[in-house]
Structure 1
Amino acid sequence: MTIVSNDPSLWPVIDAYRFFSYCVVAAFVAVTYDWALTFGQEVELVWRQRWSLMTFLYLAARYLGIFYAALTVLSTLPTILVTDTVSWITYVVRSWINVLVFAMLWVIIITRLHAMYQGSRKILIFLIVTFLADNIFDVVVSIMIMMHVSGEEYILSGTYMCQINYPEDDVLLVSITWILATVWEVLALCLAVWIAVKHFRELRRHSAGGIIGDCFSVLIKTHMAYFASFVAVSCFQLIADLSPSLLTDENSLESQTLSGLAQISTVVQAFVLGPRLILGVREYHAKLVANSDAASAMTSIAFREQVHVSTSSSV
C-alpha cells in the first residue's frame, strides 16, 4: 500500500527518517572499516591457517555482517526503487541473519567456556541445553513475526519511505527474546569470570603465571568487551520496544534516534566484536609463536580445532 501526502506537518517525520538512515550508514561504515582494518590479520590468522569450525564461524559472522549492513542501508534509501515489497524482503533477510549470527556467536562462547572449564562435560551439556532452548524460542518468535508484519510505502513531499509495522503482541515477544538472551549472556559472563578468578588464584598460590595466565586474561578481556556491547544493545532495544511514549509515536525524532543507536550498537556487537572473539585469541597465539618456543603448548588456542589451557581442554 502506498500513501502519498504533501502535508507540511509530516516534515518532522521525514527528518526523523533521514536521521535514522544516517545511523544506518554509520553502522555500515563501522563494520566495513573494521573489516578493512583487520583484513591483513584475517588473511594471516584465518585464511592461511588450518580450517576448522571456528574458521567458518568467523568468516560467516564477518561477511554476513557486511551483507546485513548493506541491506539495511538499501532498505532506508529514499528512492522510488525501494518499495514496500523490497523493504519487507530485506527485513526478512536481515531478521534471519540476526538469528543465525547470534546463534553462531553463542557457539563461539560455548566453545571458549568449555575450554576454560577444562573440557567439563557438565558445563558443556548445561550450556548446550540452555542455548538450544533460547534459540528454538527465537526461531519460533521470528516465524510468528514474519507471519504478521506488513510493509507500507510512503511518499511524503517527494521523499520515498518504507515502514515495517508490527502487532503489539509481536513487540512483546521480541522484548522477551532480548530478555532471555541477556540472561544467557549474563550467565555466560559469570561462568567465565568465576573460572578465570579461580585459575588466577591457583596460579598465584603456586607462583606460576606466564602463558596460562595471559591466555585467561585475553579470553576475559575479549569476552567483557563483547558482553558490554551486548548489554548496550539490549538496553536500547528494550527501551525502544517497551517505552510507552516511544510506542505512541514511532516516527518521532526520539524514537528514530533510539532505533539508530540500537542499529549501530547491534552491528558493532555482532559483526565487529563478535568476530574479534576469535581474531583476538588467534592474534595472541601468533605473538606467542613469534616470541617464545613455549608457545607450542598453546597451539590449539588459535581455535584451529581445540584449545588447551592448563590440561587438554577444548574451546
Structure 2
Amino acid sequence: MSGLEESLYALDWNNKMSIAVITMVSYECILQFDKEVTFVWGRPWSMMSCLYLAVRYFGLLVAIISGLWGGLFYMSEAVSYGTFLFMQWGISVYSCLTKVILIWRLYALYNQSKPILYVLLGLLLPIVALYIAMDVYLWSRPSAISMQEIIITPNIKYCTAFFHIRPMFAIYTSIPAICYDILLVFLAIAVLVKHLKERKEIRMKPNIYIVLIVRYHVIYFILNLTIQIFTAILWANIPMVVMNFILLFYDTAPYIIVPRLIINIWETHANDNCVRVSTTFEDCVCWTSPPQLEQHEMDRRV
C-alpha cells in the first residue's frame, strides 16, 4: 500500500469511527434525558446528582471532541494540538470523577464513616498528582508529541499526532491507579460479604440496593481495568482496524456506562414500593437501615 493509499485508508477509518462515537454518546444522552429530568432536575440536589451531571455533560463534551479530532473536520496544527491536549487531560479528569463516585458510594455503604472517606480521599490525592504528571510528561511537551499535517490532495488534508517517547512511563503510571481501583472494589465486596453473612443469620433476603451498588463497583473496576489495558495496547504496532475499534470503545464506553449506572440505581428505587420513594435515594432509609427498620417499613406497606 502506497503512502497516499495508507493515508486515505486511515482517514476513512477515522471518519467512520468519529461518526460512530458522536452518534452513540448523543443517542445515549437523549435516551436517558427523561430519566435525568425526573431523578436529577426534579429532585432536591445531592452530592451524587452533582457528580452525575459532571460525568454526564463533561463526559459528553470529551467524547464529542474526541470524535471531531483527527480528520472529521479540518483543524490546523495548533488547533489540533490544543484539542488533543483537552482530550487527554479530560480523560484523566473523568477518571478521577469516577473514582470520587466510588468513594462516595463507599462512604454511604460504610454508614457514612468519616475515617473511610478521609482515608480514601487522602489516597486519591497521589493518584491525581500522578495523572497530572503523566499528562504533562506524555502530552504537554512538544518534545514528546507533535502534530503534522497530512496532505492527500489540495482539498483533502488532516492533522495527526506523532509520538516521540517510549510507552513505558504510561504503563508504569497506570499501576498505582489499578491498585487504587482494586482497593475500592475490595472494600465494596467486604461490605457485601458482611451484609450477606448478617442476613443469613437472621434469615432475611439481602438488601437489593447494597447488592446493586457493589455489583456496579465491580463493573466500574472492570471498565477501568479494560481502559488501562487498551491504553497500553494502543502504544503497540497494531493493525489500523483493531486500533480504531479499541478507540471506539475507549471514546464511548466510559461516557455511556458511568452515568447509566448512577441513574439505574435511582430508577430501581423509584420503581420499588418503598414508602420513602419521594425522597432522594441518598436520603432514603431503605438501603442503609438495620433489618428491624426495614421490617417496620414493610409492615407499614402491608
The TM tier, using the shorter chain, reads 0.7 to 0.9
Separation (CA, whole Å) in 1 of partners of 2:68 and 2:253: 21
Segments of structure 1 that go 5 or more residues without pairing to the other structure are: 1-6, 247-253
> Aligned partners of 2:103 and 2:186: how far apart in 1?
13
| 1:126–1:19 CA distance, 2 compared to 1 (3 A) | same
Amino acid at match of 1:96: W
Deviation sequence 1:155-208 (CA, Å, 0-9, x none): 124531211223314x33322333332222222112211211210121121112
CA-based RMSD of the aligned residues comes to 2.6
| 1:108-159 Cα distance to aligned partner (Å, 9 max, x none) | 1001011112233443233112211111110122123312322111112453
Residue 110 of structure 1 aligns with which residue?
A: 103
Residue 44 in structure 1 maps to residue 28 in structure 2: no
CA distance in 1, matches of 2:59, 2:267: 21
Q: 1:18 aligns with which of 3, 12, 25?
A: 12
Offset at residue 308 of structure 1 (A): 5.7
Change (3 A) 1:258 1:230: farther
Q: Distance in 2 between matches of 1:20 and 1:182?
A: 29
Q: Is the 8 A contact 1:74 1:82 kept in 2?
A: no
Alignment of 1:162-311 (within 5 A): 162-169=159-166, 171-209=167-205, 213-241=207-235, 243=236, 246=237, 254-288=238-272, 291-293=273-275, 295=276, 299=279, 302-303=281-282, 309-310=288-289
- Relative to structure 1, the CA distance from residue 269 to residue 190 in structure 2 (aligned partners, 3 Å threshold; closer, same or farther) is farther
Query: Hey, what does 2:90 align to over in structure 1?
Result: 97
Q: Is the 8 A contact 1:24 1:263 kept in 2?
A: no
Distance 1:20 1:176 in 2: 28
Give the alignment's TM-score, normalised by structure 1.
0.81
The secondary structure found in structure 1 opposite 2:203 is coil
Aligned-residue sequence identity (percent) comes to 24
For residues 17 and 233 of structure 1, the distance between their equivalents in structure 2, rounded to whole angstroms, comes to 24
Q: Secondary structure at the match of 1:147?
A: coil
Equivalent pairs, count: 286
Q: Distance in 2 between matches of 1:105 and 1:15?
A: 35
Q: Which of these residues, 28, 35, 57, is aligned with residue 63 of structure 1?
A: 57
The higher relative CO (CA closer than 8 Å, separation ≥ 6) is in 1
TM-score (structure 2 length as normaliser): 0.84
Cα shift at 1:90 = 0.9
Distance 1:205 1:99, change over 3 A: same
Q: Aligned pair in 2 of structure 1 residues 102, 305: CA closer, same or farther (>3 Å)?
A: farther
Query: What corresponds to 2:296 in structure 1?
Result: none
Asked if structure 2 preserves the Cα contact closer than 8 Å seen for 1:27 and 1:264, the reply is yes
CA contact (8 A) 1:232 1:265 kept: no
1:138 to 131, 138, 155: 131
Residues of 2 paired with 1:25 and 1:190: CA distance?
A: 38
Aligned pairs (5 A) from 1:23-34? 23-34=17-28
Name whichever structure is richer in helix by fraction: 1
Cα distance in structure 2, aligned partners of 1:160 and 1:233: 30
Amino acid at match of 2:271: K
Secondary structure of 1:119 counterpart:
coil
Unaligned stretches of 5+ in structure 2? 291-302
| Secondary structure at the counterpart of residue 161 of structure 2 | strand
Structure 1 residue 307 displacement after superposition:
9.4
What is the CA–CA distance in structure 2 between the aligned matches of 1:264 and 1:180, rounded to whole Å? 25
1:4 equivalent in structure 2: none
> Deviation of residue 44 (structure 1)?
0.2
Counterparts of 1:156 and 1:223 in 2: how far apart (Å)?
46
Quote the Cα distance in structure 2 between the aligned partners of 1:307 and 1:181: 33
What amino acid is the match of 2:159? C
